[in-house]
Amino acid sequence: MKTKLVLLVILTVLNTQFSIAQKSFSVSVKGKGEPILLFPGFGCTGELWNETVEELSKTNECHIFTFAGFGTVPPIETPWFTTIKNELISYVKDKKLHKPTLLGHSLGGTLSLWLASTETELFKKVILVDALPASAALMIPNYNGEIIEYDNPQSKMMLEMDKNSFEAMNSQSIPFMCLNKEKHKIITSWMNMADRKTYVYGYIDMLNLDLRKEISKIKIPVVILAATSLGLDIVKNTYTAQYQNLPSVQIYYAENAAHFVMYDQPDWFIKNVKLALK
């Protein structure tokens, strides 16, 4: 009896230590079966995956993440993105998850590529939703991995922006990222809830990550579900250029879908996720 009590105390302490040490995300688990880690895009919470989890949890154990500084998860210090990546590796190993699949949207997809190229034996496959290995290459002409400093005029302007201006900026950008008007309100609310420093510095973290060469190290299947609202030819050229070092990648293009593919084409999306899992 005494031995059992001692073991119980030890396990409680270990679990408490892990929950204290891991501060870069919150996670909820639903369903049983082979594990899937679901990473939301920048500014979003794990609620992004509600409809997806409703389906996938019937056959899989879904680990749904919300990153620090978003939703109700307290912010952390920089480097934000690196800390998330390192603590996710610890999470998978500490929980003894066997070859989980990575399902990531946007920033969550870039994170999935980073994990798969770093821990080449830890995961089973990667499913990306409108995600690239080098987001900065979309915005900076002739981008070649130059580092963006946290302290720059754009960051200063964003940090000093008043609440009304910040929310107006989010409201104006959402229609370009999601064609499904019924989802605009919830996406906007996630963006408005974001910790401002995380919103600014975390985005810089993402832009400073250039994985175009690193993805050549990925050994597992990678499937991409891409949006086409910018034009199919433009999107195809972008993906071909950014994934040239991962020739085995499989890319499927969603018609009439912007960045939030899971909302713009929900039936097509869940069908192709299930196919990718098989």
92 within a domain of the structure (yes/no): yes
Alpha helices in the chain (DSSP H): 2-21, 50-56, 80-94, 107-118, 136-139, 153-160, 163-177, 184-193, 196-197, 203-207, 232-242, 261-264, 266-277
Domain with residue 264: its CATH number is 3.40.50.1820
Highest mean pLDDT among 15-19, 32-36, 137-141: 32-36
**Tens-digit pLDDT profile for residues 23-71:** 999 999 999 999 999 999 999 999 999 999 999 999 999 999 999 999 9
Cβ(31)–Cβ(56) under 8 Å? yes
- 38 occurs within a structural domain: yes
Q: Is residue 31 part of a domain?
A: yes
The rounded percent of the chain whose pLDDT value lies above 90 is 88
Domain containing 75: what range? 27-135+150-277
* pTM for this entry: 0.91
pLDDT for 78-113, tens place per residue?
999 999 999 999 999 999 999 999 999 999 999 999
Instruction: With beta carbons less than 8 A apart as the criterion, state whether 209 and 223 touch.
Output: no
Residue 19 maps to a domain = no
Residue 195 lies in a domain: yes
Distances (CA, A) of 66 to 25, 26, 72, 73, 156: 5, 5, 9, 7, 26
What the block records as the tokens of 121 is: 């034996």
* Spatial CA neighbour of 83 closest among 196, 201, 191: 201
Q: What total of structural domains would you count in the chain?
A: 1
Model confidence band, residue 8 (pLDDT cutoffs 50, 70, 90): very low
